[in-house]
A and B are shown apart, each in its own frame.
Chain A
Amino acid sequence: MTTLTDTGTTASARTPRQVPVSVRRSRLRGAILRHGGLILFGLFMLYPLIWMAVSAFKPSHLVLTDPGIIPTELTLENFVNGWVVGGFPFWVFFGNSLVVAVSAIAGNLFSCSLAAFALARLDFRARNVYFAIVLVSVMLPMHAVIIPQYIVFSNLDLVNTFVPLILPKFLATDAFFVFLMVQFIRGIPRTLDEAAWIDGAGPFRTFWYVILPLMKPALITTTIFTFIWTWNDFFGQLIYLTDSTVFTVPIALNALVDSQSNQGTGTLMAMSLLSLVPILLFFAFAQKYLIRGIATTGLK
């Protein structure tokens, strides 16, 4: 592998001027086909969202009774009507969701990376048992444990706060990410671990200086997914948060339309659209780091 760092320009690439016209034309045709296909597929994928965006601007009573994609009337009333829920403006709910999501990210990054390192790199007798437990805790359906968990927090008088939603993240209860990080770490060759060990580094220094930097893709992925899942988590937030002041986005959206009457669907479309914007921005921003992070995964 010692020659890897000085690859320079590979001999096989030709400068553009030397590429014959026929090849260029077929490359162009290929590019058009590829982009065309991707765009068409993209439109197909996004049709429901386009419909949602259009409906957000339709008068609320027309959203369901006149569901065509070309609107006959346009209005901003859904945004106006849906902005205040339970007496609070929607930015409060964005703020609350943000607090919960960001704290959850911090918690997951902290606790899951530690646990994953131990499970993937350290040798101790209970390792396989613990790993099995991690997997099993991913497998149990939420509804079976949610009531006992609620009782625990209720007895601690912590309902109607964000603590039940955030504290578990600092305790690696999102076993999904532990598993994800274990898999990523296992993909990192042990050469560097060995090098570090020979240099006298113990497990902590190996974790901090060797593994953690190389784990960036897994960390970024964890960040992205934690953000999105927390932002969209409905059930957990529903049962713990009762006061409108601490409502998060999914709860606020739920309170817009009653399953009994379907009135106000327009406001639901409008506010759902708005609430997509932060996650989309977050994703667009974070995915850059997904690339960057990986680009520095050299075996240096």
Chain B
Amino acid sequence: MTLAKSAPPAQVAAPDPPPAPVGAGKGRGRRRQTAAAHVFLAPWLIGLVVITALPMLASLVLSFTDYNILSTPRFVGLANFERLLEDPRFWQSAKVTGIYVLVSVPLQLGFALLLALILDKGLRGLAIYRSAYYLPSLLGGSVAVAVLWKQIFGYDGLVNQGLAMIGIQGSNWLQNPDTALGTLIILNAWTFGSPMVIFLAGLRQIPEELYEAARVDGAGWARQFANITIPLLTPIIFFNLILQTIGAFQAFTQAHVVSGGTGGPVDSTLFYTLYIYQQAFVNFDMGYAAALAWVLLLVIAVITALHFTLSKYWVFYGD
């Protein structure tokens, strides 16, 4: 009976390449796994073909056409992509989305991790705090958010009322192109409940015994944190990082709801997907919208691949 030794928690091991799966061998064993794998993957494969792949391919093909929904698509080659490069609103939306990703993802994850760590201790009323911090995420893309955000950042909103108390006259933060994006970044950070829950789950997966062993060895709180918590949490941090980044690139509802679908003022909140939506659903320019979508996908793919490559250096997997 072989029992693999547990990796000593004090060392951060560089993640190994995916180890040989259990039961794999040459010849018959390997083939058996392929067949079994495809049985497990059958629902996904069906879904892929019928629901995902066909529409994806359709949209790829459309990106090389001029298609306005009501008449047949007309092949135009790379025209959409050329147009994109010269389109100032494309660059504006890329800039807006870029800033949004770079600022709001770390901010949101930072809050999520911080609160998860604080709430992970045996705290009284833990469930209440957890639910309270999670509540904003439930409102998510609700229509009501536009109204609420105006109450905070509008001309007579909470922020300005607070500023008035110390004698500063605030402006309408939502209507000021320099700050409008900031309000959306704050909105994203406000909904840190989702990654927080995932962090909590990940924290709970770290065996208590490791901490006790470390305490027995005389390690204080900081060393436990640095040598147990963080390393063992890295798969979850990585997961949250990837998904929140992809989510931020694809952010749509917040901008749509708060700016009323315009991306205003002066396109300062024109998220990339909002621009895609405008081209598809307002201008009926589906070919161009599809081209925009695929450019986004390529960018996200590149960045995700980058994340994955870099992950070898800091993510520690238990297997």
A residues with CB within 8 A of B: 1, 4, 7, 10-12, 34-35, 38, 42, 45-49, 51-52, 64, 67, 110-111, 114-115, 117-119, 121-125, 127, 130, 133-149, 152, 167-168, 170-173, 176, 178-180, 183-184, 186-191, 193-198, 202-204, 206-207, 217-218, 220-221, 224-225, 228, 232, 234, 250, 253-254, 257, 259, 265, 268-269, 272, 276, 279-280, 283-284, 287-288, 290-291, 294-295, 297-299
Contacts and interface: CB of A to CB of B under 8 A. Distances in A.
28 contacts: A1-B3, A42-B133, A49-B135, A118-B36, A123-B21, A135-B304, A139-B296, A142-B252, A144-B280, A145-B52, A148-B58, A149-B55, A167-B51, A168-B51, A173-B52, A178-B44, A187-B235, A194-B2, A217-B204, A217-B205, A220-B201, A228-B137, A232-B141, A253-B143, A268-B144, A276-B138, A283-B138, A294-B201
Contacts of B294: 144
A197 to B, nearest CB: 5
Contacts of A272: 139, 142-144
B226 interface: no
Contacts of B209: 4, 7
B198 interface: yes
Given A135-B304, A194-B22, A250 B142 contact: yes
Interface in B227-270: 235-236, 238-239, 242-243, 246, 249-250, 252-253, 260
B197 to A, nearest CB: 7
Contacts of B38: 118, 124
A276 to B, nearest CB: 6
A186 B317 CA distance: 7
9 A-B pairs closest in CB distance: A171-B47, A144-B293, A148-B55, A118-B40, A294-B204, A172-B44, A193-B22, A145-B55, A124-B34
B90 interface: no
Interface residues of B, number: 108
Interface centre among B55, B124, B207, B317 (most CB of A within 10 A): B55
Contact of A147 (B50, B236, B286): B286
Contacts of A276: 135, 138-139
